[in-house]
Amino acid sequence: MQTIVRVLQGLDTIGGNIVAFEREDSRVVMDFGTTFGPTNDDTQSLLTERKLPNIPEFFLSEVKGHFTHNAIFISHLHIDHMGALQYLADTVDVYMSPEAIQLYLTLQSLNSEPATKANLKPIFPEKPVQVGELTVTAYLSDHDITGAYMFRIQDGFHEFVHSGDVRYDGPHSERVDYWTKILHDNQPDLFFIEGTEFSFENKSQHRETEASLLLDFEKVLQQTNELVVINPYQRNIERLFSLQMIARKMGRELVWNHEFATILKNQTAKHVHEIAVDVSWSEIEQEPNKYVVQNSFNDLNDLNKMNNFVYLHMNGEPLGDYDGRYAILENYLTVRNIPLQLMGASGHATETDLLKIAAAVNAKLTVPWHSFKPELENRALQKLGLKTNLPHLDEPMIFED
């Protein structure tokens, strides 16, 4: 018998990385994201253009597959890792962390995520899930979103690993230490490791972390009596709560828009303040030094109510100049004579930390992906003495029992 591993997307892109593990009548698919924005293209066109993975039976109800046991496992709820779920034609079991399920359902209720035919099922840390001949175990990891996992896939003879997106300088590096040691002790046959940071040249010498971001935020609150406006990413729940805690510590209330407030209320019993519900713009205008306001791009003109404010861009949308809205944001602030202060932190490990993780795992075969330049990471891994592979799309990697 044998297990076949096929990379379906994401070999030279950041995100959209999808891999299938197949054995007998059983198949598990790791992550199910997209790298494209909203489109009017029909599903068949997306398949033909390879914008969706080559699993037509998942997307076209008239196509029947031969796997009796099928499941998709989502490492975390970033669009580039789960955005294709909206295109499912029939009900498919989709596993993700309980926190990710809660967030996903909330986003759907807010129309921030399209409906899906996914049959959402929770997978709990270190509680194996059986899908036919394959066993999947999740491990908590560190990324800039709630409920991020690393996955181990076992067939009784081999062990395969999908790192998911990972960093080593976040608030939960101990999670990464924990699973790298477990993997090292078992030496996996195959280790898929992300390589986002190998994509970019001319990196800044200063790397912001979640911890330093929070310290910088506190310093801003200490140094100004103006209203402070933040534009964070809605799915980084842990950061949002930390920002709220620091604001209260500094004598300010953080006020959220409806979408953010709903997400936070559904994630905790703690009270959050919503703009125009708990706090009015009139109250903020009268005492701006008592508030921090979360402002999304779509609500940008709400800031016309204020004569002056400090604007902190914290990985919210639009994230960078590749997005046409970024120029609009820059122009709006320039006209208002307000500096655009960047205060973001990456969810991805540095090049050095990626190599450290790969060396610690010491798999029999390591595959770099989730990068514009996987060949750079590949060479760096080889210099460490690791055996690597840069597969082609749909190329079967065969593991015999």
Does the pLDDT of residue 49 top 90, yes or no?
Answer: no
- CA distance linking residue 354 with residue 361, whole number of Å: 11
Residues 227-238: tens digit of each pLDDT: 999 999 999 999
Please return the burial class of 400, using the count of CB atoms within 10 Å of its CB with bins 0-12, 13-18 and 19+.
exposed
Q: Look at residue 203 in the predicted model and tell me its pLDDT.
A: 67
Does the pLDDT of residue 39 top 80, yes or no?
Answer: no
191 with 358: CB under 8 angstroms? yes
Q: Look at residue 321 in the predicted model and tell me its pLDDT.
A: 77
Pick the range with the lowest mean pLDDT from 18-32, 179-193, 310-324: 310-324
**Rounded mean pLDDT of 32-47?**
84
Residues 51-70: tens digit of each pLDDT: 899 999 999 988 888 899 99
Pick the range with the lowest mean pLDDT from 19-23, 294-298, 317-321: 317-321
Strands 26-30 and 2-9 come out as unpaired
- CA distance linking residue 164 with residue 143, whole number of Å: 9
Residues 295-309: tens digit of each pLDDT: 999 999 999 999 999
Minimal CA–CA distance to 19: which of 32, 6, 33?
Answer: 6
Both tokens of 320, joined, read: 């960078």
Residues 347-365: tens digit of each pLDDT: 999 999 999 999 999 999 9
Does the pLDDT of residue 322 top 80, yes or no?
Answer: no
3-state helix, strand, coil in the chain (%, to 5): 35, 25, 40
Residues 133-180: tens digit of each pLDDT: 999 999 999 999 989 999 999 999 999 999 999 999 999 999 999 999
**In Å, how far are 31, 221, 229, 362 from 302, measured between CA atoms?**
37, 21, 11, 52
Q: Look at residue 204 in the predicted model and tell me its pLDDT.
A: 67
**In Å, how far are 151, 319, 320, 332 from 325, measured between CA atoms?**
35, 9, 9, 11
Question: Domains in the chain and their CATH numbers?
Answer: 2-200+348-400 (3.60.15.10), 210-342 (3.40.50.10710)
310 with 343: CB under 8 angstroms? no
pLDDT, the chain, mean: 94
**DSSP character at residue 393:** T
Q: Look at residue 140 in the predicted model and tell me its pLDDT.
A: 98
Band of pLDDT at residue 185, cut at 50, 70 and 90: very high
